[in-house]
Amino acid sequence: MTPNAPIPVLVIDDEVQILRLLRHALEADGYDVHEAKTGKLALGEVACLQPQAIVLDLGLPDLDGIEVLRRLREWSQVPVLVLTVRNSENDVIAALNAGADDYLTKPFRARELLARLRAILRRTRAANEVPVVRFGEIEIDLAGHLVRKAGVDLHLSAKEYAVLKMLVLNRGRVVTHRQILREVWGPNAEQNTHYLRAYMAHLRNKLEANPRAPAYLKTESGIGYRLLED
Amino acid sequence: MRAEFIEESVESLDTMKPPAQLSRPPLPPTVPGSGSGSPLPPASVTAQRSMLVAVGPSPHSEQLVRWTGRQSTMLKTPWAAVHVESARPIGAAAQRLVDKHLALARELGAQIIITQDEDAASALVRVAEKGNFAQVIVGQSRRRRWLGRWRRPSLADRLLGMSHGLEVHVVPLDETLPAKSRPLFDIPARSSWHEYALVLSVIIALTVLGMQLPRSYYVQIGLVYLLAINLLSLRVGRGPILTAGIVIALTWDYIFAPPYFEFGIDNLPDLVLFGTYFVVALIAGHSAARLRAQAHNERLREERATALFQFTRALAEAKNLAEAALGAVTQIDDMIGSSSAVAFADENNDLPEPVFHGSLLPNERERAAAIWAFRNRRVNGRFTETETDCAVYFSPLLHEDQAFGVLGVKLLPAKTLSLGQRDLLDAFTQHLALVVERAQLRAAGEREKLLAESEKLHHALLESVSHELRTPLAVIAATSEELVEAKIPGSSDLAAEIHEAALRLNRLVANLLDQTRLESGALRPHLDWCDPQDLINAAVESTRDAFAGRPLEISIPEDMPFVRADFALTEQVLVNLLLNAARHTPLRAPVTITTGIDFSGRRAFFSVADRGPGIPAALRAELFKKFSRGDAAPPGGLGLGLSIVHGFIAAQGGEVIFGDNSGGGAIITCYLPHTAPETPPPE
C-alpha cells in the first residue's frame, strides 16, 4: 500500500547508523524521510514539516524520549512509533501511556518497522470506519455488531465484544492493558489485569483456530495485546 | 498507658457549696430498704459509647473503677476517670487514696482527667460534654441515707437534674466495705504550731495594749481585733484563724465588754459585735484556706509546666538518641529525686538486650521487668499491680500503641510516686517515644534516599551501556538481514552468518546486562497476572530458531489458572531454560515444557525437561553460580543462563530445583508463589 505522493516521516534518533538504516528502509517503501538528532530540534521540525508520522528513539541525548512525546502531544496528534531496547517494558508502557501509538524493539526487522508504520498511519486515514474487518476465517461487522467465524455467527458477551472491538479498531497496533481495562471496565479497574486475561482467553477460544497458539490475538510481553492482520 | 492530663481553670470559686459529694463517704445507714440505684443498661445499649467514672477518696471508688474498667473492656469503648478537686484541702490520707484510685484506673486503660470545681455534678457534666462522653458512672449506697430527705440530693440525682442527653449510671455499692469516716474539721497539716504561736502572740499583744486604754474604748478595741483577724487570715491557715476567732471573741467579752471580767453581754450592740467575731473569723478562715489551696495548686501546675518545658528543651537540644536519653534522665532525676534510665528499641522495634542510658543500672531481674513492660506495653514494677516486688518503676515509651523503648525510675524505698509525678513521667515517656520515632523515621528516610540514589545511578549506567552495545548490534543485524533478503549470489550465505552472529552477540549482551541488573540489586519485579500459555508462547517464539527440527512438547493443564509473575522476567527464565536444554542435548532430542499448580495449591511451576545426558555430578553444587559451565558443554556461552534463571525466580519470591528426568535427561523446575486470582464479576 505504497502511497502515490511520498508521505513525510520524521525520524528522531541520535545514532547516525540507525538513522541511515531507517532512511534506507523507509525510502525504499516510498516515504519522504526527514531527520532530527535531538529532542528539542525534533519538536521544531514537527512544527514546520508537519510530518504524517514520527519514528522516535526513546534514548535521546538531550531530552528523555517520553518528555518529547509529552510535549508533542500537547499540541499534535501525529502518529508516533517508538524505538526501544529489550528489557524496558516500563519505558514502553510509559511511552504508550504518554501518547505513543506503537513501539518496536531493537534489533528490529525492516519488514516489521514498515508494517507497524502502516498500521499507525491508518489511524489517521479514516480506515477505522471500514464497516467490516476480516482476518483468517473471522469476519467482524462493526456496524451490525456481528462476529462470524467461517460464515457462522458467534455469540460474544458484551465485554468480550468491547475488548475485541477495541483491538479491531486498533488492528496492527499494540493496545495496552490499561487502555483496554479503562475503556471496557472503567478507570477503577486498571489493576485488574486478570479480568482482561480471562476475557482474552474466552476470545481466543471462540475466534482462534488453535487457541493455544493464537495467530491473530497476540500477547505483547507485559505490555498489552495486538490484533495481527493477514 | 494512654493517660492524658487535662487541666481546667478553676471555675465557680465564688460559690460556697459544701464539698463535692464524691469525696464524702457514705453515711451510716439506718433505714434498710430498696436500693436507689437504677438497673444497668444491657451491653448492647452501651456499645461504642465512651464512659466517664467519677473517682474520689471513698473506698468505694476502687470498686467503681474496676467495674467501669471491666465494662469498657467488654464493650471495647474508651473510658476516663475523673477526679474533681475542690479548693478545700482533703487531707494527705484522702489524697493518697485518690492517687491510688486514679493510678488503678490508668493501669486499667483509662484516660485520667483532673478538674477543679466546687460542685462535682457540674464538673462531671462539663467534662462529659467537652470530651464527648456519653455515659457517666457514679456510685451510690444501696441503703437510704440518714436524714435523706433533708440533705442535699445525691450526686446521681443532681447529675440527672442537670445533664441533657447524658446517660447517668448509678452503680449500687457494696456496703460491706469499711467506710472510713472523715474528721469533721479537717485541719490541714500545713498549719504548724508556729502559726498558732503567731496568732496567740498577736492576741496577747493586742489585749495588753487594749488594757492600757480607757474602758469606754471597748468598741474600738473590738474593731482592732477584727482587723487583726482579717490580717492574720492572710498569713495563717484555717485552724489557727478559727482558734483566733474564738479566743478573741471570748477575750473581748471577758476583759473589755461590760460586765467586765465576766462572760456574758448585757446589751444588744455588744452581742452583735460578739457574733460578728465568730462569723468574720469563719469567713476569713475559709477564704484564706481556699486561697492557699488555690495557690498551692497553681504552684504545682507551674512546676509541671516548667518541668515539661525544660524536658522538651533538653530533648530538642540533644543531637542523638543517647544524648536525648541522658537529658531526659537528668531532668527526671532532678525533678523527683530518683535514679532512672532509658533503653531504646532497636531498628526492628524489639528490645532483646536493653542498653540503659542514665543514672540507674538495673539488675537482671529488673531488666526482665523492663522487657516485660516493653513487650506488653504496660507499666511494670514498683507502684504498679504487676511485679510489685521489683524496686524500679518501668514505663514503656508509647506512641500510637507502639513501644519505642522503656523508662525505668527508682525511688528511695521511703518515697512514693505521687499522681502528679506519675502524670509527668507519662508525659515524658510520650515525648521520648516521639523523639525515638522521629529519629527512626529520619534514619529510614536517609537509607531510602541513599538506596534510591544508587538505584538511579545503576539504572542510568545500565541504560547507557545497553544503548551503546545494542545500537551497533541492531545496525549489524538489520543490515545483514537486508543483505540476506537481497539474495545477492555468493554473499547471501555470508550475510546470513553475520546475521546469526549478531543475534547471538545480542543475546550474550542481554544476559550480561541481566546479570548486572541482578547483582546491582536494581531488579524490581513488577508482578501482574500472567497467562502461563502466553508466557510459554512468547518463550517458544523467541527460541524458534534454536528449536528448528527438534521436537518441543508443551503441556499445560486445561484448568491452568493465571499466575502472578513479572511477565518479562519469567519469559526470559523460560527462554534461558529452553536454550539451555537445546544447547546441552543432542540435536533431535525432545524437550518438554510443563506448567501447573503443585499439590499444595500454593505454588505454580514451570519445568523444562530434556532427554540429554543429565546434569553432571561435578556441576550440581554450582549449577546456579555465574560463569559455571560444564566441561562437556559445547563451546560458546558464558555460563550465565541458569544463574539468571535462579536470580529472576528468586527476585519473584520463588525457587528453582533441578533433578534427573525419569527415563534419562535433566529437569529444571521453577516454583512461584501462587494464589488463585478472583474471577471477574459476571456481566
Most confident residue range from B292-296, B504-508, B538-542: B538-542
**Domain shared by B490 and B555, yes or no:** no
Q: How far apart are CA B300 and CA B188, in angstroms?
A: 17
Mutate which of B467, B545, B644 to test chain A, going by most A C-beta atoms within 10 A? B467
Q: Which of A18, A89, A158 sits opposite B474 (nearest CB)?
A: A18
End-of-domain residue from the set B519, B552, B582: B519
Q: Tell whether B307 is covered by a domain.
A: no
Greater confidence (B52 vs B58) lies with: B52
Does residue A189 register a pLDDT over 60?
yes
Residue B224 has pLDDT above 50, yes or no: yes
Q: Which of A68-72, B53-57, B121-125 has the highest mean pLDDT?
A: A68-72
Q: Which segments of B296-433 are extended strands (E)? A: 339-344, 356-358, 380-381, 392-399, 402-410
Nearest to B511 by CA among B572, B558, B552, B451: B572
Asked if B543 and B400 sit in the same domain, the reply is no
Of B416, B442, B468, the last residue of a domain is: B442
Q: What is the pLDDT of residue B41?
A: 42
Give the Cα separation of B66 and B79 in Å (integer): 12
Q: A85 touching B, CB under 8 A?
A: yes
Higher pLDDT, B154 or A197: A197
B88 — pLDDT class (breaks 50, 70, 90): low
Mutation for testing the A interface, residue in B498, B517, B534, B543 having most A CBs under 10 Å: B534
Question: Does any domain span residue B569?
Answer: yes
Percentage, residues of chain A above pLDDT 70? 94
ipTM: 0.84
Q: Do A107 and B538 touch (CB under 8 A)?
A: no
Cβ contacts (< 8 Å) between B468 and chain A: which residues?
A: none
Check if the beta carbon of residue A13 is closer than 8 Å to that of residue A42: no
- Does some domain include residue B299? no
Q: Looking at per-residue confidence, does B555 or B146 come out higher?
A: B555
Q: Based on the fold, state whether residues B168 and B26 are members of the same structural domain.
A: yes
Average pLDDT over residues B259-284: 78
C-alpha cell at B313: 528543651
Of the candidates B88, B95, B15, B11, the one whose C-alpha atom is nearest the C-alpha of residue B55 is B95
Amino acid B150: pLDDT: 54
Residue B238: pLDDT over 80 = no
More confident call, B599 vs B190: B599
Burial class (CB in 10 A: 0-12, 13-18, 19+), B455: middle
Task: Give which of A79, A83, A81 is closest to A121, Cα–Cα.
Answer: A79
The percent of chain A in helix, strand and coil, each rounded to the nearest 5, is 45, 25, 35
The two beta strands, B402-410 and B392-399, are antiparallel
Beta partners for residue B85, in sequence order: B116
Residues forming a β-bridge with B563: B530
What mean pLDDT is predicted for residues B141-148?
53
pLDDT, tens digit, 9 for 90 and up, residues A123-139? 766 555 667 888 888 88
Q: How far is CA B169 from CA B39, B136, B179, B388, in A?
A: 8, 6, 22, 33
| Among B376, B375, B415, residue whose Cα is nearest residue B392 | B415
Task: Judge whether residue B514 has pLDDT over 90.
Answer: no
- CB-CB neighbors (< 8 A) of A195 in chain B: 680
The verdict on a CB contact (< 8 Å) between B467 and A59 is: yes
Q: Which of B393, B427, B442 is the last residue of a domain?
A: B442
Confidence (pLDDT) at B638? 62
Find the range with the poorest average confidence among A144-148, B173-177, B410-414, B513-517.
Answer: B173-177
Would the CB atoms of B502 and A15 count as touching at under 8 Å? no
Most confident of B252-256, B455-459, B516-520: B252-256
B16 in any annotated domain: no
Q: What is the pTM of this model?
A: 0.53
Task: State which residue of chain B sits closest to A59, comparing Cα positions.
Answer: B467
Residues B164 and B35 in one domain: yes
Same domain, B145 and B230: no
Average pLDDT, chain B: 78
Nearest CB neighbour to B568, from listed A87, A107, A198 = A87
Instruction: Please indicate, yes or no, whether residues B403 and B456 belong to a single structural domain of this protein.
Output: no
Residue with the bigger pLDDT between B71 and A225: it is A225
| All cell numbers assigned to B606 | 514451570
Q: In 10 A of CB B320, how many CB atoms?
A: 8
Q: What is the mean pLDDT of residues B651-658?
A: 90
End-to-end CA gap in chain A: 14
The answer on B162 and B48 residing in a single domain is: yes
Share of chain B above pLDDT 70, in %: 85
Dump pLDDT digits (tens) for B581-616: 888 888 888 899 999 998 888 999 999 998 888 888
Q: What is the pLDDT of residue A225?
A: 92
pLDDT digits (tens, 9 = 90+) for A139-175: 888 888 889 988 888 888 998 999 999 998 888 889 9
**Full residue range of the structural domain in which residue B534 is found:** 525-673
- Asked if B516 reaches chain A (Cβ–Cβ under 8 Å), the answer is no
* CA B579 and chain centroid, separation: 56
Q: Are residues B635 and B533 in the same domain?
A: yes
CATH number of the domain within which B149 lies? 3.40.50.620
CB contact under 8 A, A90 and B502: no
Question: What distance lies between CA A50 and its chain's CA centroid?
Answer: 20
> Higher model confidence: residue B370 or residue B88?
B370
- The residue-averaged pLDDT of B188-211 equals 80
| CB-based contact B556:A212 (threshold 8 Å) | yes
Is the Cβ pair A219, B537 closer than 8 Å?
A: yes
DSSP-derived letter for residue B636 is -
Q: With an 8 Å Cβ cutoff, is A87 touching chain B?
A: yes
Q: What angle do CA B452, B458, B460 make, to 5 degrees?
A: 100
Residues 118-157 of A with CB under 8 A from B: 157
Instruction: Identify the CATH number of the domain defined by range A7-125.
Output: 3.40.50.2300
Interchain CB contact of A24 with B (< 8 Å): yes
- Average pLDDT (B576-585) is 88
Residues 6+ apart with CB under 8 A from A66: A58, A91, A94, A95, A98
Q: Give yes or no for residue B547 having a pLDDT over 90.
A: no
Q: Which chain A positions have a beta carbon within 8 Å of B568's beta carbon?
A: 87, 89, 221-222
Shortest Cα–Cα distance, A115 to chain B (Å): 15
Question: Higher confidence at residue B1 or residue B301?
Answer: B301
Cβ of A87 and B466 within 8 Å? yes
Single-letter amino acid code for the residue at B459: H
In angstroms, what separates the C-alpha of B564 from chain A's closest C-alpha?
9
**Residue A166 to residue B123: CA distance in whole angstroms:** 70
Domain coordinates of chain A in residue numbers? Answer: 7-125, 130-227
B457 and B491, same domain (yes or no): yes
More confident residue, B94 or B202: B202
Q: With 70 as the cut, is the pLDDT of residue B42 above it?
A: no
Instruction: Assess whether B70 and B167 both reside in one domain.
Output: yes
**pLDDT above 80 for B326:** yes
DSSP state of B17: P
Q: What is the pLDDT of residue A53?
A: 92
Query: In this predicted model, what pLDDT tens digit does every residue of A190-221 receive, in sequence order?
Result: 888 888 888 998 899 989 888 888 889 988 87
- The verdict on B43 and B109 lying in the same domain is yes
Flag whether pLDDT at B6 surpasses 70.
no
Question: Which is more confidently placed, B548 or B6?
Answer: B548
Mean pLDDT of B71-94: 78
User: If pLDDT is split at 50, 70 and 90, which confidence band does B649 have?
Assistant: very high
Which residue among A106, A197, A221 sits closest to B470, beta carbon to beta carbon?
A106
Q: Any CB–CB contact under 8 A between B348 and chain A?
A: no
Question: What distances in angstroms separate CA B587 from CA B30, B320, B481, B592, one per listed residue?
Answer: 110, 68, 25, 14
Find cell 464524702 and name the residue. B24
The angle subtended at Cα B651 by Cα B646 and Cα B657, nearest 5°, is: 35
Q: What is the CA radius of gyration of chain B?
A: 43
* Rounded mean pLDDT, B327-345: 84
CATH architecture of structural domain A130-227? Orthogonal Bundle (1.10)
Pure H helices in chain A = 16-28, 39-49, 65-73, 89-97, 110-123, 158-169, 177-185, 193-207
In three-state form (DSSP H/G/I as H, E/B as E, the rest C), the secondary structure along B132-170 is CCCEEEEEEECCECCCCCCCCCCHHHHHHHHCCCCEEEE
Residue at B362 is within a domain: yes
Distance CA B310, CA B366 (A): 28
Which CATH number does the domain housing residue B602 bear? 3.30.565.10
User: What pLDDT is stored for residue B411 in this prediction?
Assistant: 82
The pLDDT of residue B591 is 92
pLDDT digit string (tens) for B448-463? 888 888 877 877 777 7
Say if residue B456 is in the same domain as residue B552: no
| Cα(B1)–Cα(B236) distance, integer angstroms | 41
Subunit contact A87:B514, Cβ cutoff 8 A: yes
Question: How many domains does the structure of chain B reveal?
Answer: 5
